[in-house]
Structure 1
Amino acid sequence: MLACLAAAAATCAAALVAPAAAPGITVLNVTGSGCRPNTTAVALSPDRTAVTITYSAYTAPAGGTATTVSRNCRINMKIDPVSGYAPTITSVDYRGFAEVAAGSAGRLAASYRFHGAGWAESAAMRLTGPFSDNWLHTDVAGEGLVTGRCTGAHVLDVDSTLTLTSTAAGAATDVITMDSTDAVVPNTFHLSWRPCTR
């Protein structure tokens, strides 16, 4: 189980549990140039400690000339309520592949929030060329956790943007993706459940 930030250790100590009942997850809406219909999959892990999002066509490719290309995606999902618990996201693993030539750069900008929460957690990563490999960016929530409400369904917004800025040297080959070249690797939202006080 992931450790909480020291500043939030007291709050998180009670949060790192999983309810016996498995909640359902319903995808409400998927929009964006990086996630066309039928190219994303959302799932809850069997132990209820992670929500995974898998993309099969989330790619910002070079445009053939020195230019900047962006692709984005927004996923709205509903996590069914579990009596006595509020869902809490402690960290997120963003994964993908990039090939960028010297002088080129690939960037990830992402955020997520529960409806009704007072703030959204944001993440950012920049890869500068030359680079050709799978990448992993782990974002730990700034306050130690992002928590849904104790009542009602929990609607989670997940937003992300991939941006590729190519020089002439990489205009034909530069690419950044939210996937790897050798396996289907999901983004992982590490999930715990905070007991609600009565």
Structure 2
Amino acid sequence: MKIILASNSPRRIELLKKLQLQFKIQPPNIDEEINEKDPIKHVLTLSKLKAENVFKDFNSIVIGADTIVFHKEIFGKPKDYLDAYNMLKSLSGTWHEVFTGVTILLKNESISFFERTKVKFKKLSDELIKYYLSTGEPFDKAGAYAIQGLGSILIEKIDGDFYNVMGLPISKLWDVLWNRGIISETKRKNFKQRS
């Protein structure tokens, strides 16, 4: 059965490719503005909405995901320069959490889980924040930074799954796909032979 990633995120596409699975991309058409303050409920709700939106049109396995940064409040993608600046200023010198919710929809089953990673920023000067914003990198990223890009210079420590901060906890996703038998026996045999 085909796997469809309900996303057009270049980072999620890149991460799912690391699992060496064949998949197609179908971005969902949903309003991502929801009124949910709890970070876990927020990401699980949006991952499910994304997966359901795509699943209704396909008889396939659909994976939906949503990532947010949480520091006293939920930080999604910044709306503009000032919003991004305020996010980075708020995260400066502190720990925050990154949550990703994942929903996998099958013909007769829905599987949802989340991953949490803690990230500590260095103390950021206004000059560094403005420089980083001038690169344009942060504007389509939750929390206004890309840990896999230049945003890595903002990070002091990380506790947990690095890939979760990028947008998809691939180790946990692999475990779920493997344990549910979604990864075929053929794929398993090929994988074992290469090891």
TM-score, normalized by length of structure 2? 0.29
* Structure with greater strand percent: 1
Higher relative contact order (CA 8 A, sep 6+): 1
The structure with more helix, counted as a fraction of residues: 2
